[in-house]
Structure 1
Amino acid sequence: MTATAMHEPVVEPARRAMPGWARAALWVAVAVVAVSLTSYQTGLPELTASGTVQAAVRLGVPILLAGLGGLWAERAGVINIGLEGMMILGTWGGAWAGYQWGPLAGLIAAAVFGALGGLLHAVATVTFGVNHIVSGVAINLLGAGTAKYLSTLVFEPISKNPRESPPVPKFDTYSVQPLGDWLQQLEDAQRVGISDVAGILGGLVTGLSPLTVLAFLLVPVSYLVLWRSAFGLRLRSCGENPVAAESLGVNVYRYKYLAVIASGALAGIGGAALILNPGQAGYLENQTNNRGYIGLAAMLFGNWRPGGVLGGAALFGYSDGLQLRSGEITVHALFYAAALFLLAVVAVQIWRRKWFFAGMAAVFAAAMYSVYWFTDELPEELTAYTPHLVTLVVLAAASQRLRPPAANGLQFRRGAD
């Protein structure tokens, strides 16, 4: 061995980073364990009951579709605050066509009405350079006003009420059998851990409508189109560096238009989920209840990635479904589950030697447990706004790791430097 070789530093091989899907699956498992332990510590099996999960799926699907709509638009560089208005247009279109010709026609009409809202937003922002926030707010106001006018014009003679439609036919629901029955038996056995997992899986494979299945399929489809196709590469380049994309021959205007129209169609389908899935009679004024904005929060939580949007929608849907199905006591128990989850975060941050974040997580864990320990239940007025409170907490927690598209919200002019 030469002297030079003896003094060469030893280079340790770099540790392979865990894939994103694996990290997400690990944290989902941690969350399930935390909720399962809470269920048995508090004697509240409703936390992991299949009925609760079914309600969470039903309430999370519109948020998921709105979040995917925001993802498509913002990956092309167009901020879409108008998702709420596009969802409202989708609810009206779905109710109108669904009443006339059935749920499939309602789904198509909802997508078309939402896409028209997206087209209007694209004309304002892409062609005329209107500020994206201003245009989005205008779309929200216009969508609500248009739906109210059309409801008065079309639905009032039938339903005798300008704020609602007559009953609309729904999609049928299906279950994966015999898997659903087997999971129900495991859930009824009340075995620690096993019954909780069975209840969660049972809620995911029973009572499914075609619209719910479509919403879940759109998550991998969005990923494959946006990240695994030449079309998606060009579209995302418009949101990262439209000038460079234009120099390479990409028609930036065309891709922005297509993205925002697709965004509106997805939001419209999200509105249709409020109409055509079982559990709702038909169109009602203010039916979306700010789900378009919550969909935007899910998109931010997911860091502009389809899988992250699904996780955000699941979180918001679960919190909403839990408070609607079980009330103040079970929502109160979530503080205990949150404390357990944050303790896992503390352990991970200590292992990564990020002492500041470990300390912050420990403080939040102590705060969550204190709320659980010193109170018996939450006021009814507070639990009614659980999804909105979760939105604020999630946005605050996720703000440190967000990486939006570089040119998101910036005005683009062809030929500009």
Structure 2
Amino acid sequence: MLLLIQYTLIFASVLILVALGGCFSEHSGVINIGLEGIMVMGALGGALMLRFLSPDTPAILIILLVMLASIACGMIYSLLLAVAAINFKADQTLVGTALNLLGTAAAVVVVRAINMASDPNNVSSTVSYIATKKALLVRIGGFEFNWFMLVALLALIISYVVLYKTRFGLRLMACGEHPQAADSVGINVQKMRYAGVLISGLLGGLGGIVYITAGVSEWKFENGVAGFGFLALAVMIFGQWKPVNIGLAALLFGLFRALSNVYTGFGALVALHIPSTVYNMLPYIISLVVLAFTSQKSRAPKAEGIPYDKGQR
């Protein structure tokens, strides 16, 4: 049971971070379908930092440097979406799809180049971080606490405060609901949308490194992040673009994802003789079912996905 709780919390942490990233972007008026690609790039930055840091580095410094590397890569990569969608008014769905395809391919090329530089015969896309990953974990009895669980909780609280209790958050949401009205009272819509997309890059990049360090000590970047970016979008929609609801939805989806890791420890589940692949599919099946029944009641920001035209009223 402890193992189920452990995996539920770590997968929920991933979903919270990435879904909150999508939440900020869409509240500003930009649809971020590219969360999957942003996660991959954030994971790449964090994984390479873990690989090249010395195991003797203080744990707190390892955590901070890994977070900074993931955040930097996620934000830089999200700039591609910001420039294309805000400056060039490109179709946001197409740009996001392109970012997802490019992210995994670029990560594989970078990792293979680094591996071949140290060993010409090593053409794998795997990054190993066995020794330094221990800095992220604290053993509490039979429970393995990951510091990223705390990071996700803090991100949830901060997001709620920023969106609903600060001038910045209210202005950001105004740009996603009625940008013309926001512009008429002196709010710079382009700057606010840039801020929303960059914040989504920050949180999405963090979510990427949390995902690839959940339960494993190396990652093969050819696998991308196994659709977790799209699962986070489902969590965001199910959570109605509200931080508290997103947190609760993430726990639900995280539970079903955790089952695929620990179902062998439950005799009742083993007795059902259900193939392991079904458990791997569960979170995605649940997302389809949930969205099918709740999407009609979803209320997205009114101006999301619509390029802002200053001359339009």
Answer whether TM exceeds 0.5 for this pair: yes
Greater mean alpha carbon deviation, residues 254-263 or residues 323-332: 323-332
Matched, 1:128 2:65: no
Q: Report the counterpart of residue 283 of structure 1 in structure 2.
A: 219
Corresponding residue to 1:162 among 121, 124, 134: 124
Is structure 2 residue 74 aligned with structure 1 residue 74? no
Match of 1:397 among 290, 293, 307: 293
Distance (whole Å) between structure 2 residues aligned to residue 405 and residue 132 of structure 1: 15
C-alpha displacement of 1:266: 0.5
Q: 1:380 aligns with which of 257, 266, 276?
A: 276
2 CA distance for matches of 1:402 and 1:249? 30
CA distance change for structure 1 residues 100 and 331 in 2, over 3 Å: closer, same or farther? farther
Structure 2: gaps (5+ residues) = 54-61
Provide, for residues 68-124 of structure 1, a one-character-per-residue CA deviation record: whole Å limited to 9, x for no partner: 110010011110000000000011111112222344312111111111121110100
Which residue of structure 2 lines up, in the alignment, with residue 86 of structure 1?
A: 38
Report how far residue 166 of structure 1 moved.
Answer: 2.9
Q: How does 1:345-360 map to 2 (within 5 A)?
A: none
| Alignment partner, residue 174 of structure 1 | 138
1:346 alignment counterpart: none
Q: Please give the per-residue CA displacement for 1:140-169, whole angstroms capped at 9, x wherever unaligned.
A: 111112111101111344472421013251
SS at 2:219's partner residue?
Answer: coil
SS of structure 2 residue aligned to 1:288: coil
Q: What amino acid is the match of 2:299?
A: R
Partners in 1 of 2:41 and 2:276 — Cα distance?
Answer: 31
Which residue identity does 1:411 align to in structure 2?
A: P
Query: Which residue pairs with 1:270 in the alignment?
Result: 207
Q: Per the alignment, in what secondary structure is the counterpart of residue 306 of structure 2?
A: coil
2:102 is the counterpart of 1:138: no
Q: Which residue of 1 aligns with 2:167?
A: 230
**Aligned residues: percent identity?**
32
Q: CA RMSD in A?
A: 2.2
Unmatched 5+ residue regions in structure 1?
Answer: 1-48, 185-205, 334-374
Q: Provide closer, same or farther for how the CA distance between residues 50 and 380 of structure 1 changes in structure 2, counting only shifts above 3 A.
A: closer
CA 1:262–1:152: 2 relative to 1, 3 Å: same
For 1:208, the equivalent position in structure 2 comes to 145
User: Which of the two has higher C-alpha Rg?
Assistant: 1
2:306 corresponds to 1:410? yes
Confirm or deny that 1:114 pairs with 2:74: yes
For the 8 Å contact 1:94–1:276, the answer to whether it is kept is no
Whole-Å separation in 2 of the counterparts to 1:327 and 1:103:
32
2:43 touches 2:70 (CA, 8 Å); kept in 1? yes
Relative contact order higher in (CA < 8 Å, ≥ 6 apart): 2
**Aligned mates of 1:230, 1:331 — CA distance in 2:** 52
Q: In structure 1, how many angstroms separate the alpha carbons of the residues matched to 2:272 and 2:70?
A: 43
**Could you say which residue in structure 2 is the equivalent of 1:257?**
194
Partner of 1:188: none
Q: Counterpart in 1 of 2:49?
A: 97
Give the corresponding residue for 1:367: none
Contact kept, 8 Å, 1:237 with 1:245, in 2: the verdict is: yes
Q: 1:100 to 1:381 in 2, by over 3 A?
A: closer
